[in-house]
Amino acid sequence: MIWNYEISEITKGYSETEEQFCCVMCSQKYEKGKIYSENQSMYDAEGAVRQHIRNVHGNVAAYLLQQEAALTGLSDVQNRLLTCLLHGKTDREIGRELGIAQSTVRNHRFKLREKEKQAKLFLVLMHSISMETKSSIEKSDTGNIEELHAAATMVDDRYNISDQERQKTIRTYMDENGVLKQFPSREKKKIIVLGEILRNFEAGTDYSEKRVNEILKRLYEADYPTIRRALIEYGFMERTLDCMVYRIK
């Protein structure tokens, strides 16, 4: 998950370990000591990951502005305005594109600046609490609150899932082989089950609808099309407009 990296790493777009550089946006890895070819030029591992980011993602800001609002916390207007700023547009040009007055553009600039300052202090506050209590915010009385998946279509109480809840739900609705006994009706339990089903697919791999059906039919023969649709609806998977290719989102 991109938010598990340090701010400096996210800003650069990649992390570094003793063995490799890793793109924080798609987890593409480049081993140190190897030479890579990018756009008919040769690069070491760090140069290659930088070229990868330019070629595939453009830059970190562009990547984040393309993500769901649930991930960035930006309103539609804020997203559009920041996109304009990224492209170097003036207040007059932004106002014309968004259909608002220049004074309104300046007001948005003011609010975004205040949001930035508040975000810095909030990060310090959370870090300070963790240091003082020797505990992180996700540790609750009923277990650790799990990370939601980055492509979640809407962040709400449905994703307030502890590890104990996950284990109990999986034991209730799935057998020891991961076969689904019944698709739950409650939203939170659906999300838990769908996350477990997603383990049967590999990130970065394209699947035909036929192959997706084959995998899901083995897990829930009673109504595998419902599972396929739910994986799309809840943002676990995505598919091309012609429905020919499915992949983990």
Same-domain pairing of 14 and 83: no
Are 23 and 111 in the same domain?
Answer: no
pLDDT values of the chain reduced to their tens digit, one per residue, 249 residues: 788 899 999 999 999 999 999 999 988 999 999 999 887 899 999 999 999 999 999 999 999 999 888 788 899 999 999 999 999 999 999 999 999 999 999 999 999 999 999 999 999 998 898 888 776 666 655 555 555 555 555 555 556 677 788 889 999 999 999 999 999 989 889 989 999 999 999 988 999 999 999 999 999 998 999 999 999 998 899 999 888 899 998
Residue after which a domain boundary falls, among 63, 80, 102:
63
138 within a domain of the structure (yes/no): no
Residue 21 within any structural domain of the chain: yes
CA distances from 110 to 76, 85, 104, 218 (A): 17, 14, 10, 54
Q: Do 72 and 45 share a structural domain?
A: no
Residues 78 and 152 both lie in one domain = no
Tokens 């009923």 correspond to what residue? 142
| Domain assignment of residue 58, given as a range | 2-63
Residue 241 lies in a domain: yes
Residues 126 and 147 in one domain: no
**In this predicted structure, what is the pLDDT of residue 223?**
93
Measure the CA–CA gap between 196 and 161, rounded to whole angstroms: 13
Domain count, the chain: 3
Q: Is 152 helix (H, G, I), strand (E, B) or coil?
A: coil
pLDDT for position 140? 57
Secondary structure element (H or E) that encloses residue 197, with its range: helix 187-197
- Provide the pLDDT for residue 135: 66
Q: How far is CA 121 from CA 69, 118, 125, 128, in A?
A: 22, 5, 6, 10
